[in-house]
Amino acid sequence: MATNRTFTMIKPDAVKNGHIGNILKDINDGGFKIIAMKYTHLNAETAGQFYAVHKERPFYKDLVEFMSSGAIVAAILEKDNAVADFRTLIGATNPAEAAEGTIRAKYAKSIDANAVHGSDSDENAEIEGNFFFSSLERFA
C-alpha cells in the first residue's frame, strides 16, 4: 500500500559543505512536508545495519565508512507519490548522471558522496523511518 511518505538523509558530505539549508529549501519547494527531522550521526555499527541490504556489494565497506564519517540530517517526508517524486527531485545515484537542477546535480561530488539518500520503495521508507524515529518523534 502506498504510504505517501519517504525517508531521507542529508549525507555527511552535504552537511560538511554547508548545504543543509539549500537542500531543505529544495525539499520544501518540491512540495514535501516534513513529518520528522533530526540532526544526528551514524557509527560503523548503525550505518552497517542501515545499509545491510548492500552487504554483498563491493562498495559496502566504503559506504559504511563514509556514512559514519560525520553528522547527517534524517527526515520523514510526506507528499502524494512521495517515494518516486523524491527520487526524481534528488536525481541519479551518480551525480555525473543526475538531471540538471536535481539535488545531487547541484550538491553532490561523487557516486559515494552523493549528498542525499531517498528510499527506493514504500516498504523501505517505512523501515528506514522507523530506524531513526519513534512514534513520539513524528508529527502525525
Q: Is 62 in the site for ligand GDP (CB under 6 A)?
A: yes
Cβ 28 vs Cβ 45: under 8 Å:
no
Q: Is 127 in the site for ligand GDP (CB under 6 A)?
A: no
Taking alpha carbons only, the member of 65, 76, 64 closest to residue 128 is 76
Out of 20, 34, 63, 71, the only residue in the binding site for ligand GDP (CB under 6 A) is: 63
How many amino acids of this chain bind ligand GDP (CB under 6 A)?
9
* 117 has catalytic annotation: yes
C-alpha cell at 13: 558530505
C-alpha cell at 98: 543526475
Of the two residues 14 and 37, which places its CB atom closer to ligand GDP in the complex? Answer: 14
Give the torsion sign (CA, 64, 41, 118, 13): negative
Residues interacting with ligand GDP, by CB under 6 A? 59, 62-63, 93, 111-112, 114, 117, 120
Known catalytic residues? Answer: 117
